[in-house]
A = this chain, B = another copy of it.
Amino acid sequence: MGARKFPETATTTATDYGSALFGALRQHADCNWMKYIRHEFVCRLGDGSLPRSAFLAYLEQDYLFLLHYARAWAMAVVKSETAGQMRMAAATVNALINEEISLHVRVCEREGITEEALLNAREAPQNIAYTRYVMDTALGGDLLDLLCAMSPCVFGYGEIGCLLADADTEPVYREWIDAYCGEPYQELCRSVAGLVEEVRLARLGSDFMGSPRWESLCSRFSTAVELEAQFWSMGMDLGKPGA
């Protein structure tokens, strides 16, 4: 199984799914974004060298993550200002709870981890940090602040899915990759990007980089990106023997 080679120009060619705001935030976060997207965990998912124990530890934590991520999207419903925004946010809550989470449950069960075990898994501090940071953003800011904190997860997984689309790896990693590079998830990314743009226009207007909020939005996005990278590191650590 050959090592996965990433194209050198990945960032610049990567899609922004149609959101100028996301594109600009990603470009601004640059190095942090690369550390997240091309984290050792990701690379080794792609070339098959990731220890199975790290993958399972990650899946367990990600199950808990998704429950809180669905709560964050529920806050997006609460903070929506139009019926259309509400529909989009509510559909995402549903997709997370009834589709993305089931993938986790299915894979975990095949590997001998029941949903009950998933629910009772001890939440890692890196998991707490990321999920609660997003939730608190919902309490402290407006819908745009919240969407900036949620963007690294939704779009980053889409980008990782595409990066690894042709990877020749373990079947179970393949199944994971397919979930994120597949059309339904990529379509979700485009829909969320549409929502991000709509809210950005309503809250900042067209010249968003000239807004006094620009710096703070960058900082929020960047913190979330760092917390995503730490989530991958958590997976590596929890997968080590004796962890």
- Contact residues of A with B, CB < 8 Å? 67, 70-71, 74-75, 77-83, 86-87, 89-91, 93-94, 97-98, 101, 115, 119, 123, 125-126, 128-129, 131-133, 135-136, 138-142, 145, 201-205, 211-213, 216, 223, 226-227, 230
Contact = CB atoms under 8 A, between A and B. Distances in A.
Copies held by the complex: 4
A78 to B, nearest CB: 5
Nearest to A66: B83
A212 B216 contact: no
Report whether over half of chain A's contact residues are helix, strand or loop; otherwise say mixed. Answer: helix
Contacts of A211: 205
A98 B204 CA distance: 29
B93 A98 contact: no
A142 B145 contact: yes
B97 A87 contact: yes
Nearest to A213: B203
A7 to B, nearest CB: 31
A35 to B, nearest CB: 14
A78 B79 contact: no
Given A97-B87, A132-B129, A213-B203, A70 B77 contact: yes
B136 A216 contact: no
Nearest to A123: B223
Contacts of A97: 83, 86-87, 90
Contacts of A101: 83
Contacts of A81: 140, 216
A107 to B, nearest CB: 16
A141 B98 contact: no
